[in-house]
């Protein structure tokens, strides 16, 4: 027979996590199958044939056994909860349907049927808790690439934090700070939504980036847009957040971008309650995504703008003194190399360089 919960826990010596190895990749389909097996094995129709099929399913892949163990862990955690509490935590259409069926079975006094319904709810709740939310973050100067369960690839730039939620109806990423490039896997039945500030960026299958000020932006040289969306291929729609979500910086109406376009939102300089300022342009894409190759590329930009960009990647801030922010800068620089950038700019424009209090100062010659 299939091991019970206690025996399953004792059998973890074969868990791929042991010995410091990475766990196997578990797709949503495998996790759903594991949750279904949880429900079946705890239901009233369990049999020797069912156990045989379960063992056969587990033997097909290490990911199957790992997924079953993870769901079993969460099953144990929530086993003492009432069905109503479990369903309230899921807040999903499937959960509500399952609860309705359970209540009908209770009224018809089918205790075994009710038990099976509760098992399905708990298994689905286990899947929800396990797969629904994941958080990824980078520090200043760090970068990370993540392959999501749906096949979407996300690339996190410096000083970035995202929260990912995948379910059967929608794929949602909340960008709390920083910059991310998205290579979205096509799924017409599940839109891909990026929430940043008060805006939603909606796509199905496309490549684009979203940028908001990083967590360490306060006090840095330069002023960063409240939101920037750049589209490489496909199409995206930018709109205010859905009803019930926290309000913030957003366009007044829905905007659809075409490949090569960038939309930037800025806070009004005067009236704080005024609508966001929207700018749409078609900048060269190479400088926008040079960070993926460890570079910062400037094409005749102001020194103030270049400094603001370089400061995103280094814990050592570059600070300007005197009337030098309007000087023009060009070239490619290694991100995170603040000293190399300062030396090059100082030589180009004959500026003075001072290093003190953990920062680099660029100033006009005395």
Q: In what order do the strands lie in the sheet with 352-356?
A: 317-321, 359-363, 352-356
- Please check the confidence at residue 178 and state whether its pLDDT lies above 50: yes
What DSSP character marks residue 18?
G
**What is the model's pLDDT at position 202?**
94
Radius of gyration of the chain from its Cα atoms, rounded to whole angstroms: 26
The pLDDT of residue 356 is above 60: yes
For the purposes of burial, counting CB atoms within 10 Å of the CB of 19, is it exposed (0-12), middle (13-18) or buried (19 or more)?
Answer: exposed
Q: How far is CA 122 from the centre of its chain?
A: 26
DSSP letter for each residue of 261-326: -EEEEE--SS-TTSPPEEEEE---HHHHTGGGGTEEEEEEEEHHHHHHHHHTT-SSEEEEESTTTT
Q: C-alpha 117: how far from its chain's center?
A: 33
Q: Taking 70 as the threshold, does the pLDDT of residue 309 lie above it?
A: yes
- The three-point CA angle 134-238-93 to 5° equals 50
Candidates 194, 264, 204, 193; CA nearest to 233 is 204
Q: How far apart are CA 141 and CA 155, in angstroms?
A: 14
Percentage of residues in the chain having pLDDT higher than 90: 44
Q: Are 208 and 237 in contact (CB under 8 A)?
A: no
Does pLDDT of 96 surpass 50? no
Does residue 173 have a pLDDT over 70? yes
Please state which of the ranges 88-97, 128-137, 260-269, 340-349 shows the lowest mean pLDDT: 88-97
Residue 255: pLDDT band by 50, 70, 90 thresholds? very high
Share of the chain above pLDDT 70, in %: 70
3-state secondary structure of 228: strand
Task: Check residue 339 and give its pLDDT.
Answer: 94
Extract the tokens encoding 73. 């862990």
**pLDDT of the residue at 132:** 55
Which CATH class for the 133-285 domain? mainly beta
Weakest-pLDDT range from 80-94, 198-212, 247-261 = 80-94
CATH number corresponding to 294-363: 3.55.50.30
Q: What whole-number distance in Å separates Cα of residue 262 and Cα of residue 209?
A: 9
Asked if 201 and 238 count as a contact pair (C-beta separation under 8 A), the reply is yes
pLDDT band at 226, cuts 50/70/90? confident
Greatest CA separation for the chain:
91
Instruction: Quote the pLDDT of residue 134.
Output: 86
72 or 2, greater pLDDT: 72
pLDDT-derived band at 119, boundaries 50, 70, 90: low
Per domain, the residue ranges of the chain are 5-131, 133-285, 294-363
């Amino acid at each position: 027979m299939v091991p019970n919960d206690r025996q399953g826990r004792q059998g973890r010596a074969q868990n791929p996590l042991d010995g410091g190895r990475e766990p196997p990749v578990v797709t949503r389909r495998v996790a759903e199958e594991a949750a279904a097996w949880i429900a079946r094995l705890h239901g009233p129709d369990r049999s020797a044939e069912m156990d045989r099929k379960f063992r056969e399913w587990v033997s097909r892949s290490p990911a199957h056994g790992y997924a079953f163990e993870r769901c079993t862990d969460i099953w144990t955690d929530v086993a003492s909860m009432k069905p109503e509490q479990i369903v309230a935590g899921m807040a999903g259409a499937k959960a509500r349907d399952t609860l309705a069926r359970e209540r009908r079975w209770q009224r018809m006094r089918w205790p075994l049927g009710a038990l099976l319904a509760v098992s399905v709810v708990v298994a689905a709740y286990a899947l929800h808790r396990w797969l629904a939310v994941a958080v990824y973050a980078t520090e200043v100067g760090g970068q990370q690439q993540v392959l999501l369960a749906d096949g979407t690839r996300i690339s996190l730039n410096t000083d970035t934090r995202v929260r990912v939620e995948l379910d059967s109806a929608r794929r949602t990423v909340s960008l709390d700070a920083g910059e991310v490039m998205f290579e979205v896997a096509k799924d017409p039945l599940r839109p891909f939504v990026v929430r940043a500030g008060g805006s939603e960026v909606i796509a199905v299958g496309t490549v684009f980036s979203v940028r908001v000020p990083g967590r360490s932006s306060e006090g840095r040289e330069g002023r960063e847009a409240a939101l920037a969306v750049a589209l490489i291929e496909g199409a995206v729609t930018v709109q205010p957040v859905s009803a019930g979500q926290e309000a913030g910086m957003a366009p007044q109406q829905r905007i659809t971008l075409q490949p090569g376009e960038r939309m930037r939102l800025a806070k009004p300089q005067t009236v704080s309650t005024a609508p966001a300022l929207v700018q749409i342009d078609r900048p060269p894409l190479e400088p926008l995504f040079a960070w993926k190759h460890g570079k910062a590329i400037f094409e005749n930009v102001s020194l103030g703008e270049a400094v603001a960009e370089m400061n995103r990647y280094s814990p050592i801030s570059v600070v300007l003194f005197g009337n030098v922010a309007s000087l023009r800068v060009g070239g490619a620089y290694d991100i995170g190399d603040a000293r190399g950038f300062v030396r090059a700019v100082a030589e180009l424009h004959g500026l003075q360089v001072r290093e003190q209090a953990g920062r680099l100062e660029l100033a006009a010659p005395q």
